[in-house]
Amino acid sequence: MEQIKLFELSKEYLEQLRQAIEAEDKVFIKESMEGANEADVAALLDELDMQEALYVLRVLDDELAADILIELDEDDQFKIITSMEHTELAALIDHMDSDDAVDILNQLGVNEREDVISHLQEKEKSAHILDLLRYDEDSAGGLMAKEFIKANQNWTVVQTINEIRRQAENVEKIYSIYVVDNKERLLGRVSLKRIILSAADTKIADIFEDDQISVPTHMRQEEVAEIMRKYDLESIPVVNVKNKLVGRITIDDILDVIREQSEEDIQAMTGLSDDVEESDSIFRIAKARLPWLLIGVVGGLMGAGIIDFFEDGLQKVIALASFIPLVAATGGNVGIQSSSLVVQTLAAKSVFSDTPWQRFIKGFLIALVNGVVLGGFVLAVVVFVYKHEFIFGVTIGLAMFCVVLLASFMGTVTPILLNRFGVNPAIASGPFITTANDLLGLAVYFGVAMLLLNL
């Protein structure tokens, strides 16, 4: 009898798995993946084509298959769930938390979604899912799960322990026991340690803590993430307008939000117009990159136009052309540095943060120092190289000083204005700032040269 090799995330195992799928060797697939982490299996399925991945999910137990489906990236999820029978998908959703189930169902059309829900075996879960579907995906209501443990303030410790045992069947991780009144309004929380150490007849009202932080259902997910980060919370309860406890958000959901935000900002800063991944098709990646690249080309053509406009001056002082790359590169670098710092500050807002005017003043003073140092350094180098051309050195040094000030101004003000008008300030970085500063830098450079060299 052939020995079953245990699951190991490697190219060798991937090849073995493909052979097992082709041979329909269900025993190998099930036994080799026994005890494997769902995230590792999801990474493995990402390397397979859709039909192969679907076959593996169908072979595995529904509970494990459900956990793996949750871990797949959204593109792979969509391909899988749209290829499944509705009854088949419903069987997996029965093993998911309500928030994860809603994330899956939101990728389907309304009619398909309702049909899948109609096939769910757990009626309480289907009710939870229908409730969550009412909320915006990017709000606390859309992010929360309906599975949590609560205790009435009038219960004794014994009653509470019995209720925890009953309610915990549907709750994977227990962080806190939320305390409510007879109208389901959130009052606070009580720790498991406090419950275990208290006498059996002690009432929850006597041992719970009323300092519980909560968020409303309509709060944006970015704000929820900031609150959980600030107060180092593992979970946070969600309440409606009447302060009734309606759900909870756990740290794993918030980590997903933070990761998505970081990816969006990085892509915006590098000039990608769509959410793309390395595994996407060549056409999709090229399509996402082209808009900003085209803008860069247009900016380059405009820069060539500026140089052409000052052609007569260049012919008189050929050495001016040697410093064009220096001026353009310095302006771009200063702009990127300034905008990146402002974007970082805007992303971590605080009541003690500087006002836009204070940020501008600070940015201007930093640019003033950098401009003086860089301009003076360039002046000294140019005068040393062109020994008898002091006025030429002054021209290049002053132009550098002005370019640094202008680039810093653009890098500071642009993200602040974008943020004020509700646009992601991350797009101010990268190609946008670089292209703008190249054009303005060239204009300032030649303007100073024309003025001081009488060209």
pLDDT in tens, 347-392: 655 544 566 677 778 777 887 888 888 777 777 777 667 655 778 7
Write out the E strands in 50-197: 150-152, 177-180, 186-190
Question: What residues form DSSP beta bridges with 67?
Answer: none
- Euclidean distance between the first and the last CA atom of the chain, given in angstroms as a whole number: 90
Nearest to 96 by CA among 56, 135, 69, 132: 69
The Cα 363–Cα 189 span in angstroms is 45
Q: Answer whether 155's CB lies under 8 Å from 163's CB.
A: yes
What pairing do the DSSP bridges indicate for beta strands 245-250 and 177-180?
unpaired
Q: Answer whether 180's CB lies under 8 Å from 240's CB.
A: no
CATH superfamily ID and name for 11-138: MgtE N-terminal domain-like (1.25.60.10)
Per-residue pLDDT of the chain (455 residues; tens, 9 = 90+): 344 555 667 788 888 889 989 998 899 988 888 888 888 888 888 888 889 999 999 999 999 999 999 999 888 899 999 999 999 999 999 999 898 999 999 999 889 999 999 999 888 888 899 999 999 988 999 999 898 899 999 999 999 998 888 877 777 778 789 999 999 999 999 988 899 899 999 999 999 999 889 999 999 998 899 899 888 888 999 999 999 999 999 888 888 888 777 766 666 555 555 555 555 667 766 666 667 667 767 777 777 787 777 777 666 677 777 778 887 788 778 877 777 777 767 665 554 456 667 777 877 788 788 888 877 777 777 766 765 577 877 888 888 888 888 888 888 887 777 777 766 666 656 667 777 777 888 888 888 888 887 76
Can you tell me which residue has the tokens 């419903």?
Answer: 90
CATH 3.30.420.480 fits 150-260, yes or no: no
Nearest to 246 by CA among 222, 219, 225: 219
The count of other CB atoms within 10 Å of the CB of residue 125 is: 21
pLDDT of residue 347: 60
pLDDT of residue 187: 95
pLDDT of residue 351: 44
Nearest to 176 by CA among 216, 201, 211: 211
What order of strands is seen across the sheet that includes strand 215-216? 215-216, 235-239, 245-250
Residues in the chain: 455
The fold adopted by the segment(s) 282-453 is Tetracycline Repressor; domain 2 (1.10.357)
Q: Answer whether 45's CB lies under 8 Å from 68's CB.
A: yes
Going from N- to C-terminal start, the domains of the chain cover 11-138, 150-260, 282-453
Instruction: Please enumerate in sequence order all residues whose Cβ is within 8 A of that of 248, keeping only pairs 6 or more positions apart, or say none.
Output: 144, 145, 147, 148, 175, 178, 235, 236, 237, 238
Angstrom distances, CA of residue 403 to CA of 318, 324, 332, 333, 437: 20, 12, 10, 11, 8
Residue 265 phi/psi, 5-degree rounding, is: -65, -40
Judge residue 281's burial from the number of C-beta atoms within 10 Å of its C-beta, 0-12 exposed, 13-18 middle, 19 or more buried: exposed
pTM: 0.65
pLDDT of residue 374: 79
Same fold, 150-260 and 282-453: no
Q: Is 87 helix (H, G, I), strand (E, B) or coil?
A: helix
Q: Is 173 helix (H, G, I), strand (E, B) or coil?
A: coil
What pairing do the DSSP bridges indicate for beta strands 235-239 and 245-250?
antiparallel
pLDDT of residue 395: 81
Q: Give, for 247, the enclosing helix (H) or strand (E).
A: strand 245-250
